[in-house]
Amino acid sequence: MTPLVNIINLDAGKLCVPTSDIIRYSGCKQTKDEKLCALCDEALTELKEAITPRAVFAEVPVKFTEDTADFGFGKYKSRSLRTFLGGDCTAYIFAATVGVGADRLIARYSPILPSRAVITDGCATAAIECFCDYICTEVFKTQAQARFSPGYGDLPLEMQKDILSLLNANLNIGLSMTDSYLLTPTKSVTAIVKSPCQS
Amino acid sequence: MNIKEKLKSSLVFFDGAMGTELQKRGLKTGELPERLNITHPEVIEEIHLSYLLAGCDVISTNTFGANPLKFSESELEEVISAAFDCAEKAIKKAGGKERYVALDMGPLGRLLKPFGDLPFEEAVEAFSKVVKLAKDKADLILIETMNDAYETKAAVLAAKENSDLPIFVTNVYDEKEKLMTGADALSMIALLEGLSVDALGMNCSLGPHKMNEILETFSKYSSTPLMISPNAGLPRSEAGQVVYDVSAEEFAKEMVRSAQLGARIIGGCCGTSPEYIKAVVSALESTKPVEITKKNHCLVSSYTHAVEFADTPVIIGERINPTGKKKVKEALREGDMAFILREGVSQVQKGAQILDVNCGLPEIDEAKVMKQVIEALQSVTDAPLQIDTSDPIALENALRAYNGKPMINSVNGKKESMEAVFPLAKKYGGVVVALTLDEKGIPETAEGRVEIAKRIIKTAESFGIDKKNIVVDTLTMAISADENAARVTLDAIKAITDMGVRTVLGVSNVSFGLPHRDFVNSEFFALALRCGLSSAIMNPHSELMVNVCRKDFAGFGVNPVSAEELSAFAPQIIKEAMALNEDASAPVINTGSLTLKDAVISGLTEESITLTKTLLEDTAPLDIINNHIVPALNTVGAGFESGKIYLPQLLMSAESAKACADVVKEKLSALGESSDKKEKIIVATVKGDIHDIGKNIVKILLQNYGYKVIDLGKDVKEETILETAQKEDVTLVALSALMTTTVPSMEKTIKLLREKCPQAKVAVGGAVLSQEYADMIGADYYAKDAMGAVRVAEKHFSK
């Protein structure tokens, strides 16, 4: 049976993106430099107007045979995933994106004002991370960072394709993948989260 | 009766969901439910039959995801053929009224370039294959659940180019009334009516109530029959089953309202079943459809929004045009896209709503360059574009590649021109600028120009192009040569406006040969607006002109212009222009005790430019670069390398340095000298990788240090890099990759260069690379960041 998928649409204004994250993702060490912080705020305000955070998820049972996890929709050999999930369990599989608006804004600045492109890129990375944290804490009721993505550790990146297909991510949230496994729009994430209520 | 005939006089009912019905029958829809056409034809047939018995007129084949990106060629043929077999058998069994089969085409499942990796023409090709396989069996083509404007256009073009079948298109809107990639309803109406589809509207995602809200916009603007196929409300899980919150009765009730709002074609999407369709049909069966009225909105669009020629004047930016602009000429000749993009974005920032794009230079391949410029511009700005060319091949290339309904500049009264432009405008859609000149030249009287306009409009209508899609340019001539010129132009504007047709003028010609051109232009512009002028092709950087549009202007025809006033305009304004004093030019920026070096280090661009200009008064241009700008760059570069300065700050300095260097270069070129090094470097993001931010950073820094950078962009094929390296005789190629999955194409590029162009050394960089990785794939140099790339270049060229 195909699992029921759920869609999340979040108002971008509700994302609380810390300036310190933007500074970090923009390739800077932490600083209280006023000019830089003001630039980050300005870029974030603009970015929030341009993005449309959307996510889709499903809850599936995971069974392990040694290091191979069977998700029902596919089997993947990964010791690090086994360590992360701690064995048989129920897990949330989700795909999230802030939409093509972020890519467009970065592309707009890239040839004209690369410094702004870098900061906008940092804002967008911070925004998708923040959105994922929101999904983990507010929707899945677990810890913010408690997620594991294809490509982490020894979990094959190929799993990403199956996740997108399981969640019908292209139709549901406009998320797809290139032949080289890049998610498009680029500010997107697919991940696995251990469900906090294990039956 | 074919479906288009039926549509003229009655409502048309479509079927409901296929997926929901398959799930009900316990069939796993999995990844490719279209395979069920072959494995379980009886089930598909039975679902079709249940909808036919519920009373629908049209059933959609189970081919939503049947496309060559998901199926092999042979399986695709089989799947589509089986789908039509199922549909036809069901129709035979159902009997009763006349029924129709729609070829159902959904999205390809990949994002198109520039933000995905699927080229537009490949998308057209994929849809074309499907259309070719089905065109002899289908009564119409339904393009549905499209969530991107560009992909919708690709599907419609494929349908148009490979069949004569009626085309119905429905898109998916969200709560904010936009497609997932940002297009609003108005822009989709503009695009789809431009492409002359037979019905348009929406399906999926929203329930009937919200969809009816959006339907009001459709009814207001569309002259095309409207289609609506909502979901049965929102899904939720109940005992492991998906249920929807709108009942068949409620659904039918809302559909009655849809019909009242102008929907002529009604069906259902996710969650709807034969029960829903039956309820809709019985509620509306005997209802006469609301008459479709012809709307007179003149719309151009991009992939996000439309611009309407209506109550406020439209500003069309004129700056991307090589005529009389040395820098644009150079940029086009050298393929310096960044310069063109800056021109585009800065005009939009200043208030341009549409951008004119002209690439006409005798020494370049206009057809090729026009397409490149259009694609590049639409990746950085969502302002609609005006394709400005007299070359029909360049025009068609641009019209195909454009993501929206563009303006076309221009057609004129010559037979040859109309026969070249109108078929293209009809096929791709567009608002056409009509110049009032013909084989005999430009008429000297307003009446003569109006006559030509009438002839153009009539000819356009014979090609199926409505007069709302013609914007007449009555041609601005210099008043310094003929004081009567302004009056003729504006009299013609008044007459055309009275005909209910929109107008446009290239305003600045009026002041040719006069001092204080900006002043003369703006006075003429204000007068033209009072005569009813709808839009101007102008320089948005002129504050005086933009203010005429935005501040002083309160609405067309509010303050009509008398004949006396028109006659008096030219002599009066010439007198005033002659009498004006030389006013102060650009606002002065107070730079205080700031030095150029410090200004660049701090990334203060405006101040840096002012200081450079001041220095140029008594310093040799090259000394400014060597003694001020380079030391500043060195300080910032060293700061970055030691971790004291961060990337955005480094880039702000780089931007300031570049602005100064541009000022210096201008001076040098006036003196017939150049500051550029002869050393050329190719930069590119490798095939399969669509990230280019890192590559762009490397580029600006290399340019800062005087290298001539050839930027090939992102997702660049190995062959393109090789060809360029050979043709330009380049010895350093800098490649960027962000993901491990694209490093293999970096390796391939290196191998190819080694083999065919051994003098080219390769530097690599990007998030996933390391010295170790670089050695492994056989690169000559590894740059850990943008300054690293500069150091590599210094090392390479010092050998």
Does residue B736 lie within any of the structural domains? Answer: yes
Helices B248-260 and B274-284 cross at an angle (nearest 10°) of: 40
Closest by Cβ to B646, choosing from A1, A29, A117: A29
Question: What φ, ψ does residue B64 adopt, rounded to 5°?
Answer: -50, -45
Please tell me the distance from the alpha carbon of residue B531 to that of residue A51, in angstroms, as a whole number: 42
**Torsion, Cα of B654, B656, B659, B665 (10° steps):** -70
- B764 Cβ contact partners less than 8 Å away, ≥ 6 residues apart: B734, B735, B736, B737, B746, B750, B774, B777, B779, B781, B782, B783
Does residue B259 lie within any of the structural domains? Answer: no
pLDDT for B706 equals 87
Last residue of a domain, one of B642, B670, B698: B670
Mean per-residue pLDDT of chain A: 93
pLDDT for B454 equals 98
pLDDT for A1 equals 45
Closest chain A residue to the Cα of B241, Cα to Cα: A4
Q: Do B28 and A118 touch (CB under 8 A)?
A: no
Closest chain A residue to the Cα of B738, Cα to Cα: A182
Residue B183 has pLDDT above 60, yes or no: yes
Total Cβ atoms within 10 A of residue B520: 25
CA B321 to chain centre: 18
Q: Are residues B622 and B687 in the same domain?
A: no
Closest by Cβ to B380, choosing from A108, A173, A182: A108
- Split into its structural domains, chain B has a count of 4
pLDDT for B589 equals 67
Q: Identify the CATH number of the domain in which residue B381 sits.
A: 3.20.20.20
Coil vs helix vs strand at B314: strand
Measure in Å the smallest separation between the Cα of A85 and chain B Cα atoms.
Answer: 24
Q: Do A52 and B180 touch (CB under 8 A)?
A: yes
At position B773, the amino acid (one-letter code) is Y
Residues B652, B653, B656: CA angle, nearest 5 degrees: 90
Q: Are residues B91 and B199 in the same domain?
A: yes
- Lookup: tokens for B613: 């200009």
Measure in Å the smallest separation between the Cα of B31 and chain A Cα atoms.
Answer: 7
Please tell me the distance from the alpha carbon of residue B184 to that of residue B191, in angstroms, as a whole number: 11
Residue in B720, B704, B746 with CA at minimum distance from that of residue B372 = B720
Q: What is the pTM of this model?
A: 0.92
Sort residue B182 into left (φ over 0), alpha (ψ -120 to 50) or beta: left
DSSP state of B508: G
Render pLDDT for B534-566 as a digit per residue (tens, 0 to 9): 999 999 999 999 888 876 555 555 667 888 888
Residue in A142, A132, A116 with CA at minimum distance from that of residue A183 = A132
Residue environment code for B210-225, b if the CB has 16+ CB neighbours within 10 A, otherwise e: bbbebbebbbebbebb
CA A155 to chain centre: 16
Closest chain A residue to the Cα of B119, Cα to Cα: A178
**Torsion, Cα of B338, B340, B341, B342 (10° steps):** 90
Give me the residues paired with residue A190 across strands: A95
Residue B648 has pLDDT above 80, yes or no: yes
Q: Are A188 and A142 in contact (CB under 8 A)?
A: no
Q: Do B696 and A111 touch (CB under 8 A)?
A: yes
Question: What φ, ψ does residue B357 adopt, rounded to 5°?
Answer: -125, 110
Residue B780 has pLDDT above 80, yes or no: yes
Render pLDDT for A8-31 as a digit per residue (tens, 0 to 9): 999 999 999 999 999 999 888 877
Peptide bond into A185 cis (omega under 30): yes
Coil vs helix vs strand at B389: coil
Show the domain range for B458: 299-579
Does residue B427 lie within any of the structural domains? Answer: yes
To the nearest whole percent, how much of chain B has pLDDT over 70?
Answer: 97
Note the ipTM here. Answer: 0.92
Report which secondary-structure segment, H or E, holds A193: strand A188-194
Please tell me the distance from the alpha carbon of residue B254 to that of residue B636, in angstroms, as a whole number: 65
Contacts with A, B 214-243, CB within 8 Å = 235, 237, 240, 242
pLDDT for B556 equals 54
Which residue, among B647, B702, B743, would best test binding to A if mutated, counting the most A CBs under 10 Å from its CB?
A: B647
Closest chain A residue to the Cα of B110, Cα to Cα: A176
- Lookup: tokens for B174: 């969200």
Render pLDDT for B124-144 as a digit per residue (tens, 0 to 9): 999 999 999 999 999 999 999
DSSP state of B188: H
Please tell me the distance from the alpha carbon of residue B435 to that of residue B503, in angstroms, as a whole number: 10
Residue in B440, B438, B499 with CA at minimum distance from that of residue B470 = B499
Closest by Cβ to A181, choosing from B380, B697, B741: B741
Last residue of a domain, one of B607, B636, B670: B670
Q: Are residues B328 and B183 in the same domain?
A: no
Does residue B139 lie within any of the structural domains? Answer: yes
Please tell me the distance from the alpha carbon of residue B299 to that of residue B293, in angstroms, as a whole number: 17
Q: Are residues B687 and B540 in the same domain?
A: no
Measure in Å the smallest separation between the Cα of B669 and chain A Cα atoms.
Answer: 23
Does residue B231 lie within any of the structural domains? Answer: no
Q: Are residues B16 and B135 in the same domain?
A: yes
Render pLDDT for A92-127 as a digit per residue (tens, 0 to 9): 999 999 999 999 999 999 888 889 999 999 999 999
* Domains along chain A with CATH numbers: 6-194 (3.40.109.40)
Residues B718, B719, B720: CA angle, nearest 5 degrees: 95
Q: Are residues B521 and B615 in the same domain?
A: no
pLDDT for B30 equals 60
Closest chain A residue to the Cα of B19, Cα to Cα: A2
Q: Which of B222-236, B242-256, B427-441, B667-681 has the lowest mean pLDDT?
A: B667-681
Closest by Cβ to A113, choosing from B147, B337, B655: B655
Give me the residues paired with residue B244 across strands: B235
Residues B689, B695, B696: CA angle, nearest 5 degrees: 125
Residue in A188, A104, A168, A193 with CA at minimum distance from that of residue B150 = A104
Please tell me the distance from the alpha carbon of residue A136 to that of residue B130, in angstroms, as a whole number: 41
Q: Identify the CATH number of the domain in which residue B706 sits.
A: 3.40.50.280
Measure in Å the smallest separation between the Cα of A120 and chain B Cα atoms.
Answer: 10
Render pLDDT for B342-388 as a digit per residue (tens, 0 to 9): 999 999 999 999 999 999 998 899 999 999 999 999 999 999 999 99
Contacts with A, B 366-395, CB within 8 Å = 379-382
Measure in Å the smallest separation between the Cα of A105 and chain B Cα atoms.
Answer: 8
Render pLDDT for B88-131 as a digit per residue (tens, 0 to 9): 999 999 998 999 999 999 999 999 999 999 999 999 999 999 99
Q: Are residues B551 and B665 in the same domain?
A: no
Render pLDDT for B208-250 as a digit per residue (tens, 0 to 9): 999 999 999 999 999 999 999 999 998 887 777 788 999 999 9
Q: Are residues B368 and B502 in the same domain?
A: yes
Total beta-carbon pairs less than 8 A apart between chain A and chain B: 153
Which residue, among B25, B36, B111, B304, would best test binding to A if mutated, counting the most A CBs under 10 Å from its CB?
A: B111
- B31 close to A (CB below 8 A): yes
Closest by Cβ to B115, choosing from A103, A170, A171: A103
Please tell me the distance from the alpha carbon of residue B400 to that of residue B395, in angstroms, as a whole number: 9
Total Cβ atoms within 10 A of residue A67: 14
Where do we find the tokens 């929004």? Answer: B305
Closest by Cβ to A185, choosing from B110, B115, B380: B115
Residue B147 has pLDDT above 70, yes or no: yes
Q: Are residues B200 and B107 in the same domain?
A: yes
- B654 close to A (CB below 8 A): yes
Contacts with A, B 571-610, CB within 8 Å = 603
Give me the residues paired with residue B103 across strands: B141
Contacts with A, B 718-757, CB within 8 Å = 739, 741-742, 745
Q: Is B135 exposed, middle or buried (0-12, 13-18, 19+ CB in 10 A)?
A: middle
Residue A2 has pLDDT above 70, yes or no: no
pLDDT for B566 equals 86
Measure in Å the smallest separation between the Cα of B386 and chain A Cα atoms.
Answer: 19
Measure in Å the smallest separation between the Cα of A82 and chain B Cα atoms.
Answer: 23
- Lookup: tokens for B691: 């990230």
Mean per-residue pLDDT of chain B: 93
Sort residue B645 into left (φ over 0), alpha (ψ -120 to 50) or beta: beta
Q: Do B647 and A118 touch (CB under 8 A)?
A: yes
Q: Are residues B458 and B540 in the same domain?
A: yes
What does each C-alpha distance from B203 to A105, B248, B260 come to in angstroms?
A: 29, 17, 18
Render pLDDT for B571-613 as a digit per residue (tens, 0 to 9): 898 888 888 876 555 556 677 788 999 999 989 998 999 999 9
Q: Which of A168-177, B37-46, B53-62, B686-695 has the lowest mean pLDDT?
A: B686-695
Average pLDDT rounded to a whole number, residues B173-181:
94
Q: Do B115 and A178 touch (CB under 8 A)?
A: no
Does residue B193 lie within any of the structural domains? Answer: yes
Q: Where in B217-287 does DSSP place strands (E)?
A: 226-229, 235-238, 241-244, 263-266
Q: Do A52 and B30 touch (CB under 8 A)?
A: no
In sequence order, what DSSP letters do the residues of A124-143 get, joined into one string? HHHHHHHHHHHIIIIIS-S-
Q: Which of B23-37, B53-67, B341-355, B746-760 has the lowest mean pLDDT?
A: B23-37
Give me the residues paired with residue B435 across strands: B412, B473
Residue in B752, B762, B685 with CA at minimum distance from that of residue B716 = B685
Closest by Cβ to A1, choosing from B28, B181, B692: B28
- B189 Cβ contact partners less than 8 Å away, ≥ 6 residues apart: B200, B217, B218, B221, B222, B224, B299, B306
Does residue B242 lie within any of the structural domains? Answer: no
Q: Are B333 and B364 in contact (CB under 8 A)?
A: yes
Render pLDDT for B622-643 as a digit per residue (tens, 0 to 9): 899 889 998 999 999 898 888 8
Please tell me the distance from the alpha carbon of residue B392 to that of residue B371, in angstroms, as a whole number: 12
Does residue B48 lie within any of the structural domains? Answer: yes
Q: Do B110 and A176 touch (CB under 8 A)?
A: yes
Last residue of a domain, one of B180, B206, B232: B206
Half-sphere exposure of B758 (CA within 13 A, CB side): 1
- Strands A89-97 and A54-65 come out as antiparallel
Q: What is the separation, in whole angstroms, between the first and last Cα of chain B?
A: 79
Measure in Å the smallest separation between the Cα of B603 and chain A Cα atoms.
Answer: 10
At position A18, the amino acid (one-letter code) is P
- B285 close to A (CB below 8 A): no
Q: Are residues B554 and B654 in the same domain?
A: no
Q: Are A150 and A160 in contact (CB under 8 A)?
A: yes
Q: Is B496 exposed, middle or buried (0-12, 13-18, 19+ CB in 10 A)?
A: buried
Q: Identify the CATH number of the domain in which residue B607 sits.
A: 1.10.1240.10
Q: Are residues B788 and B730 in the same domain?
A: yes
| Helix extents (H) in B337-484 | 337-349, 366-380, 392-401, 415-428, 446-462
pLDDT for A105 equals 96
